[in-house]
Structure 1
Amino acid sequence: MTKPAAPKRHLPTSPFKAPATPAPKHFAVGDQVTHDIYGLGRVIGVDDGVAALVDFGSAQVRIPSPYAKMTKL
């Protein structure tokens, strides 16, 4: 079993810019979203910063933060 690689840290003396961290996504009840696996849905519940409950028509799915595969429309 191998350990996952640790993220590389930015050295303050580096001539290159520090990698930008993406802004966290925020969803509200009623937002229409699309998910790479489940398709089109509507947010029906939100646990701030933890997860979002989304109704995709055929199923209700709890999507955990950071919502990598979900986009607000």
Structure 2
Amino acid sequence: MVNSHSAPKRRYLPTSPFGPPPEAPPVEQYALHDLVTHDKYGLGRVILVEGDTGVVIDFAPMKVRIMSPFARMSKL
């Protein structure tokens, strides 16, 4: 049986011989009219920013809402 939920985050013990886990990289910030590229949809332009939770991108024939952490998208 495969467990579909993610494993709990392990806590760091100060007495451990191993260092603390690396910090997560900061979430990319997008602004209105930024040009972006997406692995699935290609080139697009940001038309709406929904705070840190998501953005709406205009990819020529369609508009797509992409939620944070924007793993497959990068700013040009």
**Do they fold alike, i.e. is TM over 0.5?**
yes
CA RMSD between the two structures: 1.6
2:31 equivalent in structure 1: 28
Instruction: Select 1:4's aligned residue among 3, 6, 10.
Output: 6
User: How far off is 1:5 after superposition?
Assistant: 1.9
Calculate the TM-score normalised by the size of structure 1.
0.85
TM-score by length of 2: 0.82
Identify which of 66, 69, 72 aligns with 1:66.
69
Query: Alignment length, in residue pairs?
Result: 73
Structure 1 unmatched ranges of 5 or more: none
Q: In structure 2, the residue corresponding to 1:33 is in which secondary structure?
A: strand
Quick one: which amino acid aligns to residue 44 of structure 1?
A: I
Higher Cα Rg: structure 1 or 2? 2
Cα deviation for residue 38 of structure 1 reads 0.6
